[in-house]
Structure 1
Amino acid sequence: MTTTSLHRRALLGAACAALALGALPAWAQGGYPNKPIRMIVPYAAGGSTDQLARAIQQSMSETLGQTVIVENKPGAGGTIGTDYVAKAAPDGYTLVFGNTGPNAVVSLMRKVPYDELKDLRPISTVAITPMILAVPADSPAKTLKDFLAYAKKNGNALNVGSVGNGSLSHLTAEYFNEAAGLRMQHIPYNGGAPMMTAFAGGQLQAAFVTGLDGATLVSSGRVRYLAVGTPKATETVPGLQAIADEVPGFRSSAWFGVLAPKDTPDEIVTKLHDAIVTAVARPEVRKMFSARNVEARSSTPQELEKLIRDEMGQWGPVVRKANIQM
């Protein structure tokens, strides 16, 4: 064979290889990741979900060797940003930092343009936090038992706030009303900050909050925590009894975690999962979470999927009984 023929064959082989490479998904070309990763937060900047996403952002960037960009796409109770990711290419470059709302309960109250279990692939939880029963500092109720007696006596004259209609804080309030035999009036607000401002202004007699929402007013002495929604007392919010001590079986907690489009390859999910586990284990991340009454907790993808299914099963009856619609 002549040198010219060998040269032609080499060129042909190179061309075929280039064509084959072009047919491969981006993650297979040179290894994943080879460009920045976008982590969509489906809420406005500065909120609780946004704070937790940004807490793991730097560690994930270091582990993966590529920049992880937190991008806010708020609206419609978190479903706009979540739907954006559900319809994104399954290449590992567009993720959602999800939570209980758009990933487990919103679809119980209205139609959403995606299926939480079919269109998104769970990767790992990042944090779990109990819902906390909070009252104004000047409330006559000093304990959970005091509050139950106070609420039963005053009926629907008491206002219980939430961060929005159909939110987990709303569902928890309705669940508490039903389980404890109360008739408090639900008052929805557009987010945690407006609700906590209403607390400070004396417009609410109670609310169910996360430690992220309540931290500032609790530290300033204007709001008090009474009890937590975990089945038993927890060191995540130390010194408080469980609501279940007085209202048997009561439980309500919020989770936060990362999900990807449904057909994201196993190899990519494994890399992302490992990066999240590393981030959640970092002492500075755990310290930041602990200061906000949040438990840093990673999980397997299967555990997060089970958590979503369990929550849909828990909150469905509450939604139907209270006729909650969005």
Structure 2
Amino acid sequence: MTQSRILRRHALALALLAVALPAAAQTYPSKPIRVIVPYAAGGSTDQLARAVQQPLAEALGQPVIIDNRPGAGGAIGTDMVAKAAPDGYTLVFGNSGPSALLSLMRKTPYDEVRDFRPISTVAFTPMILAVPADLPAGSVQEFVAYVKKQDGKLNIGSVGNGSFSHLTSEYFNTAAGIRLVHVPYNGGAPLTTAMLGGQVQASFVTGLDGATMLATGKVKYLGVSTLKATPVVPGVPAIADALPGFKSAAWFGLLAPKGTPDEIVQKLNAAVVAAVARPEIHKLFTGRNVEARSSTPAEMENLIKDEIQQWKPVIQGARIEM
């Protein structure tokens, strides 16, 4: 075969590939879409994923199947998506942990920035400082003063080692110049039991987990981790009022494997934006102290990179490993 014929064949193959990719994107989606939730059913991430499941299906015109794949702090399910075909049919409903920060605490088989294409955020939830209702402190300032007087004798619980509540606790220790002893629990339910039973004197909780505690009347909120007070957690002042610059908010959202075509990412983003904008989603999320908020893929990518920069010194300073 002559050199010219070989070159013509290569040129034809490249031309066909260029045509085929947009065509596949134009017909997308043509079958059900699987969304991996890298946690067990019933948790905060799972609840939010299932809340937008049907609105996403309606926006895309195909069934959306939630597939729970828990384990290794979210790494198992997240890695499944990192290694999936980049065709838009396998996505991960991730959050700040496995989708941004986990590799700072342990070796993961994927890279949060390199191996994924962000689609859109779905929700944000600030961390809320919760303490026993009878604790003699009615504000963040009073709580910090109280902790200093106890000289390292008070505990702060979290939903697990390396969890966002743990990271926020260590960040709070540093920002306030105090020492609360970290006690990790295996999820929100055991932490709630510990708080109500007096085993820990504080915890940073999401609105989803904190609602159960608050409803008992045995727990009160002292501050929310947004830079300013937020209607997402009405009536609770910002921790930043006492500790300027303090911020800690967990996000939830959809990501696709790296290499997913732009056209598919754009279709998925439009579907998420439409789903999150629905009034019933806003009402549902607000009732759980969660803010419904979508984003562009670029905004979500920048969010992930910014979080890595914010939390890296906290994780290294506290020597948090999983």
- Flag whether TM exceeds 0.5 (same fold): yes
Alignment-derived partner of residue 9 in structure 2: none
What is the CA distance between 1:232 and its match in structure 2? 1.1
Cross-structure match for 2:214: 218
Larger gyration radius, structure 1 or structure 2:
1
Q: Does 2:101 match 1:105? A: yes
- 2:65 corresponds to which letter in structure 1? I
Q: Which secondary structure does the structure 1 equivalent of 2:121 belong to?
A: strand
Question: 1:48 maps to which residue?
Answer: 44
* Structure 2: runs of 5 or more not aligned: 1-15
Please give the per-residue CA displacement for 1:107-146, whole angstroms capped at 9, x wherever unaligned: 1111100011110100000011111100122222222222
- Residue 66 of structure 2 is matched in structure 1 by 70
Residues of 2 paired with 1:280 and 1:239: CA distance?
A: 25
Per-residue CA shift, 1:169-204, capped at 9, x if unaligned?
111100111110111100001111111111111111
TM-score, L = length of structure 2:
0.92
- Residue 80 (structure 1) aligned to one of 76, 81, 94: 76
Quick check: 1:125 aligned with 2:121? yes
Q: Would you say the 8 A contact 2:25–2:263 is kept in 1?
A: no
Q: Which residue of 2 aligns with 1:37?
A: 33
CA deviation after TM superposition for structure 1 residue 220, in Å: 2.5
Match of 2:240 among 221, 238, 244: 244
Question: How much has 1:46 moved relative to structure 2?
Answer: 0.4
In the TM superposition, residue 222 of structure 1 has moved relative to its aligned partner by 2.2
- Deviates further, 89-98 or 210-219: 210-219
What is the distance in 2 between the residues matched to 1:223 and 1:27? 56
Q: Cα 1:163–1:37, aligned 2, differ >3 Å: closer, same or farther?
A: same
Letter aligned with residue 319 of structure 2: N
**Could you list the per-position Cα deviations for residues 226-284 of structure 1 after superposition, in whole angstroms to 9, with x for gaps in the alignment?**
10111111111111111111112211110001000001111111111111011101111
Match of 2:165 among 165, 169, 179: 169
Summarize the alignment of residues 1-326 of structure 1 with structure 2, pairs less than 5 Å apart: 28=24, 31-326=27-322
Could you tell which deviates more after superposition, 239-248 or 257-266?
Answer: 239-248
* Mapped partners of 2:288, 2:215: distance in 1: 11
1:136/1:200 contact within 8 Å kept: yes
Q: Partner of 2:305: helix, strand, or coil?
A: helix
Cα gap change, 1:158/1:325 in structure 2, threshold over 3 Å: closer, same or farther?
same
CA distance in 1, matches of 2:300, 2:288: 22
Count of aligned positions = 306
Amino acid at match of 1:313: Q
- Shift, 1:297, TM fit: 0.2
Aligned equivalents of 2:153 and 2:300: distance in 1? 39
Number of the residue aligned with 2:12: none
Measured on the aligned residues, the alpha-carbon RMSD in Å equals: 1.7
Identity percentage of aligned residues: 68
Runs (4+) of structure 1 exceeding 6 A deviation are none
Tell me, yes or no, if the aligned pair for 1:27 and 1:33 is still in contact at 8 Å. Answer: no
SS at match of 1:250: coil
Unaligned runs of 5+ in 1: 1-19
SS in 2 for 1:241: coil
Take 1:295 and 1:58, find their aligned partners in 2: how far apart are those partners?
Answer: 19
Residues 25 and 261, structure 2, Cα contact 8 Å, conserved in 1 = no
